[in-house]
Structure 1
Amino acid sequence: MTTATVTAPIQPGTWTIDPVHSTVGFWVKHLMVSKVRGKFENFSGAITVAQDGTPSVSAEIAVDSINTGNEQRDNHVRSADFFDAQTYPTATFTSTGVRPDGDDYVLTGDFTLKGVTRPVELKLEFNGVNPGMGAGPVAGFEATTVINRKDFGIDIEMPLEGGGVVVGDKIT
């Protein structure tokens, strides 16, 4: 495991990812000219900060909770053509390391989707700590990455008559 001591003013312990104040979202090219944006309504996770400041992250996403604002599309993405949510109901992330990257960090880990696990790197921005509103301190982070859906067995081809594809390969 590659680790780096994080000098951010965050207290050691376990910080629960708050689904009320968090989003697991994505976008993908659609019809070669636009972006479909979506999110997952159900997810959970935690950030555990060691005494030396080193964080580790674990998260679980219910893939059947996808919401792109189009019920027909969401049902298709839940199907075996894409997520096969009935067979593989969750996607997971488990960190394997963290390293500084200027003012931000790179969080490495194993991401599992549709039964396939691949290493990924997420750009991690630490947004600070706030005393909160009576329930204890809160910390803010933003993590982004780009994956190729085909790396996770989502290899449906939907070609367009004039060239190109309905759904792009890269998911942000």
Structure 2
Amino acid sequence: MSDQQLQPGTWRIDTARSVLAFSVRHMMVSRVRGRFERYDAELTVPEDPMQSSVRATVDADSINTDNEQRDDYVRSAGFFDIATHPQWRFESSRIRTLGDNFVLDGNLTVKGNTRPVELRLEFNGVTRAPCGLLRAGFRADTEISRSEFGVDIEMPMDGGGVVVADRIRINIDAEFTLEE
């Protein structure tokens, strides 16, 4: 059975079935990919789903690029400074349509710096799980400038370019469950 609309209420992200991932150009020739292992998100849906709101937190120390040495460096004061800024936050400000999909506008706080972001949002539908819970799926993508969030390391390369690019792609696949 598939329900096509979000039901009003509070929806909680199911982190066992969701992914918060990113990628960044490395040395101008490849991409480093990673993900965050610990995060939380709540979707509040009123009668009009276009008035919905999202609040999310990310534990910055849960970064995982499959390279422990790199992860430790990224957690350090010279990069994310997780000792001072252990958690990041996102709070939506509005949802708007874009063709068949949506844009979720909001404010992202990383390393104590808050900036507006636009998440291109795809609603994948709602279904009832065999256990009876309603589940909703979303895909969201954006690109941010790390330097705008105070992650402004400069590592120029001899032949031009930088070791770590400024633009970070963020990809989210999220499954939410309606709290009943």
Q: Tell me which moved more, 35-44 or 158-167.
A: 158-167
Q: Percent identity?
A: 54
Aligned residue number for residue 88 of structure 2:
91
Structure 2 CA distance for aligned equivalents of residues 69 and 52 of structure 1: 41
Give the match for residue 61 of structure 2. 64
* Structure-to-structure mapping, 1:31-70, within 5 angstroms: 31-53=27-49, 54-70=51-67
2:131 aligned partner, one-letter code = G
Q: Calculate the aligned-residue CA RMSD, in Å.
A: 0.9
Unpaired runs of at least 5, structure 1: 1-7
**Residues 111-140 of structure 1 deviation map (CA, whole Å, 9 limit, x = unaligned):** 000000001110000000111130401000
Verify: 1:115 aligned to 2:112, yes or no.
Answer: yes
Name structure 2 gaps, 5 residues minimum. 170-180
Higher strand fraction (1 or 2): 2
Find out whether 1:20 has 2:13 as its counterpart: no
Look up the match of 1:78: 75
Higher relative contact order, structure no. (Cα contacts within 8 Å, ≥ 6 residues apart): 2
Could you list the per-position Cα deviations for residues 74-119 of structure 1 after superposition, in whole angstroms to 9, with x for gaps in the alignment?
0000011111001000111000001011111000001000000001
148-157 vs 130-139, greater mean Cα deviation: 130-139
AA aligned opposite 1:167: V
Aligned length: 165
Q: CA deviation at 1:164?
A: 1.0
Runs of 4+ in 1 over 4 A off after TM superposition: none
Alignment of 1:90-169 (within 5 A): 90-169=87-166
TM-score when normalising by structure 1:
0.94
Which residue, out of 19, 22, 26, partners 1:30? Answer: 26
**In structure 2, what is the Cα distance between the partners aligned to 1:38 and 1:32?**
17
In the alignment, the residues of structure 2 paired with residue 81 and residue 125 of structure 1 have an alpha-carbon distance, to the nearest angstrom, of 35
Q: Which secondary structure state, in structure 2, belongs to the residue aligned with residue 163 of structure 1?
A: coil
SS of the counterpart of 2:90? strand
TM-score, normalised to structure 2, is: 0.90
